[in-house]
Amino acid sequence: MKRVSLYSMANCPHCKTAKQYLQQNKITFREVDVKSPAGQKEFAKTGYRGVPILKIGDQFLNGFSVKGFNALYKG
């Protein structure tokens, strides 16, 4: 199984959708709050500016789509 990290922030509807999808499909993930000091540092290293960003293994998915996620997670 690939390790999954979700970079998100509280009031982001797309982050919420991504989180619900992961939970419903019982995919273990680590949530990184990009508004926390540690989260900001980690997020800055990704090179992305908006959320949600999913890190799947060593690849990144900018934004969330079921198709995009599954391609990286199962591929």
**Residue 1's pLDDT is what?**
83
One DSSP character per residue, 40-65 reads: HHHHHHHT--SS-EEEETTEEEES--
**Residue 48's pLDDT is what?**
97
**Residue 9's pLDDT is what?**
97
Range of the structural domain that residue 49 is part of = 4-74
- The set of residues, in sequence order, having a beta carbon less than 8 Å from that of 13 and lying 6+ positions away, is none
Reported as a single tens digit per residue, the pLDDT across 5-58 is: 999 999 999 999 999 999 999 999 999 999 999 999 999 999 999 999 999 999
**Residue 43's pLDDT is what?**
98
pTM of the model: 0.95
Inform me whether the pLDDT recorded for 75 exceeds 90: no
Tokens 């990009």 correspond to what residue?
34
**Residue 5's pLDDT is what?**
98
CATH number of the domain that residue 31 is part of: 3.40.30.10
Q: What total number of domains does the chain contain?
A: 1
